[in-house]
Amino acid sequence: MKQRLKLTTVFVLATLSILVLSSAMFLKNTDSKTEKGLASTQKHTPRPFDAKEMIMDHIMDSYEWHLFTYKDYHCCIPLPVILYSKDKGLHIFFSSKFHHGESSYKGFKISTEEKYHGKIVEELPDGSIVKPLDLSITKVTVSFFFTMLLMIWLFVSISKAYRQHKNQPPHGIQNLLEPLILFIRDEVAKPSIGEKYERYLPYLLTLFFFIFFNNIFGLVPIPPGGANVMGNVAIPTVMALFTFALVILSSTKYFWIDIFNTPGVPWWLKFPIPLLPLIEFLSLFIKHIVLVIRLFANIIAGHIVALGFFALIFIFGEMSLLGGYGISFISVPFTVFLTLLEILVAFIQAYVFTLLSALYVGLALEEPHH
C-alpha cells in the first residue's frame, strides 16, 4: 500500500513536471515572436484592468492552462487539440501553435467573433467560417480526468481493503471515505429507493463523489485544480441525462400510468384537453433540467462572486496604489469566508443532486400499494 502511494506520487509529480517543462520549451517560441513584434507596440501597452474579462477568462474553458503572466510573458501549459474537420481530416496538435489565440495553424484559429468566441473555427478556402468537430483535451477535461483518476485509485484501494480485511475495523483510507459512503447508502439510497437500492448504489456513489471532488478541486487554485468543472453547462447536463436514462429504463408500467392516466383525478382534467397528462409529462423533463441548473448556477455563482472580490482589489488598485492595498483588507477576508462557504456548497450541491436522483429513480420504481 505504501509502495503504491509512493509510486503514484512519483507518477503524478513526473507528469506535472513534464507538462511544466514542456510549456517552458514552447514558451521560447512565444518569446521570439514577441521580439519580432516589438516594432508594433500597440499590442504590448498595458490595458486598463477589465474585471469582466478577467472573470470570464477564469470561468470559461480554454485550450491552454494559463498559470501566470509576468509583464508580457504568458506562462501556460499547452494542451492537446484534437480536431476533425470534414475536408481536412483528423488533426492533433498542441494548442501552443495558436500562440495564445494570435496566429492560425493550418486554417484553424481561435475565433474572436461573437458567435464562436473562444472556440476553434476553421477558415475554408472560400472564406466561410465553420466549426470542426472539436474533441480537444481542454482545461476542464484535464481537470476532470484528474478527478476521475483520483476516484478510480481511491475506490479501487478501498474495495480491495474491504475484501482483504473482512469484518474488521476500517483500514487506512477507508477511514476517510467510509462515513460518506455509509451516509449515501443509509440516508439517500435506502430511504428513497427502498429494497432494490443496491442496483443503483454504484451510480449514486459515483455521482456524489464525482460532483463533490470536482467542486472541491474547482476551489483549489493550483493545477490540476482550479478549473471550473461543474460551472460548465455540459457536465451537469450529461449527468442529468444519465439520471434521466436511469429513470426511464427503470420505470415500471405504473409510473407511466401515473403520468398519463393519474388515478384519483377527475375525468374532465384528462379528457377533452389533457391538461394533467401534459403537465405531468412536461414535469418529467423539467425536473431533470432543474437538476442541471441548480448545480451549474450554484457553482458558477460562487466562482463569480469570489473572482469579483479579487477583481475589486485590482479595480481600486487602478485608482490608487493605497486604495488597492486598503481594499484588500476587506476583500481577502471576504474571499476566505466565501471559500469556506463554497466548500459547504460543494458538499450540499453534490448531496442534493444525488438525493434528487435517488428520489426520481425511487418514484419510477414504485409499485401500487392498494
Partner 1 sequence: MLPLMILLQAAGSTLGLMGAGFGAGLAAIGAGIGIGQIGGKAMEAISRQPEAVGDIRSNMIISAALIEGVAFFAIVICLLILFQK
Question: Which residues are at the interface with partner 1 (CB under 8 A)?
Answer: 114, 290, 293-294, 296-298, 301, 348-349, 351-352, 355
- The residue among 327 and 355 lying less far from partner 1, judged by its C-beta, is 355
State which residue, 38 or 348, has the beta carbon closest to partner 1: 348
Nearer to partner 1, 214 or 349 (CB): 349
Pick the closest to residue 170 from 154, 158, 183 (CA basis): 158
Dihedral over Cα of 201, 206, 207, 213: its sign: positive
Q: Which CB atom, from 79 or from 284, has the smaller least distance to partner 1?
A: 284
Q: 164: how many CB neighbours lie within 10 A of its CB?
A: 9
What is the distance in angstroms between the CA of the first residue and the CA of the last residue of the chain?
Answer: 54
Q: How far apart are CA 145 and CA 198, in angstroms?
A: 27
Grid cell 474537420 in the structure block, residue: 85
Place of cell 460518506: 180
Minimum distance of partner 1 from residue 291's CB (angstroms): 9
Residue with Cβ nearer partner 1 (69 or 112): 112
Are 313 and 302 in contact by the 8 Å Cβ rule? The answer is no
Confirm if 59 and 307 have CB atoms less than 8 A apart: yes
- Cα distance between residue 137 and residue 367, in whole Å: 45
Closest listed residue to residue 295, CA positions, set 222, 227, 358, 356: 356
**Shortest Cβ 352–partner 1 spacing (Å):** 5
- Asked if 79 and 142 count as a contact pair (C-beta separation under 8 A), the reply is yes
- Cell numbers 434521466 correspond to what residue? 244
Residue 30's nearest CA partner among 74, 77, 92 is: 74
Q: Which residue's CB is nearer to partner 1, number 87 or number 186?
A: 186
Cβ closer to partner 1: 156 or 289?
289
Packed helices 234-249 and 275-319: angle between N→C axes, nearest 10 degrees: 160
